[in-house]
Each structure stands twice: as C-alpha cells, then as structure tokens.
Amino acid sequence: QSVLTQPPSVSGAPGQRVTISCTGTSSNIGAGYDVHWYQQIPGTAPKLLIYGNTNRPSGVPDRFSGSKSGTSASLAITGLQAEDEADYYCQSYDSGLRVFGGGTRLTVL
C-alpha cells in the first residue's frame, strides 16, 4: 500500500483533458513538501514530468501541468495525444524518506 494515493486508471479521448490526483497526508504533501510527477512508458525508465508541484523541465510540452493544494496534488494533461498513454507516478517526501504514489495508467481511447 502506497503512502500517496492515486487512482489506478484514467482514460480520455484524443484532444480531451484528463486529471490525475495524488492524495497524501499531513506528514508528506500536507507538511509542505513538494510533489513531483514522472511518466513511465511501459518497458522504459521513468521520466521527470513535473517538479516542485508546478514546474516543467525543458522539453516537456506545456500540455502537462501540475498543481498542489492542502494534502493533495494533481497532474493535468490537455489536448490528449496517443503518445501520452503511459503510467504516471507522483512522488514526495515523508519522515526522511522519498515516497511514491501507486501509479495511474492513462489510456487514450
């Protein structure tokens, strides 16, 4: 059982907008620690998608955006494309350790 809770799956049609939630507690996200998001295409290594709650590394399309409020964070993807089909993980910090969400599989219909 993961410290951070994500929905197992989400789906959307090309061009649509989807959001993925990441729910924590007062000892991690609620304590003010940053949330980061990673994209993992099956069979490949994770890739940093969003850092520091809202920031995109160079090369990440602005279709991807992050937000954080209270004990939760969200990843939004607009203008959904077939290449966005992947697993998405949130990550934060808790009691001296790095913690991940259980992951969300995004299916592009």
Partner 1 sequence: EVQLVESGGGLVQPGGSLKLSCVGAGFGFSGSNMHWVRQAPGKGLEWVGRIRSIANNYATSYAASMKGRFTISRDDSKNTAYLQMDSLKIDDTAVYYCTRYSTSWYAFDIWGQGTLVTVSS
Residue ranges binding partner 1 (CB under 8 A) = 2, 34, 36, 38, 40, 44-48, 51-52, 55, 57, 87, 89, 91, 96-103
> How buried is residue 21: exposed, middle or buried, by Cβ count under 10 Å (0-12/13-18/19+)?
middle
Taking the least distance from each CB to partner 1, the nearer of 69 and 95 is 95
Taking the least distance from each CB to partner 1, the nearer of 13 and 58 is 58
What CA dihedral angle connects 73, 78, 84 and 89, to 10 degrees?
A: 0
Taking the least distance from each CB to partner 1, the nearer of 13 and 95 is 95
Cβ proximity of 90 and 22 under 8 Å? yes
Whole-number minimum distance, CB 83 to partner 1, in Å? Answer: 19
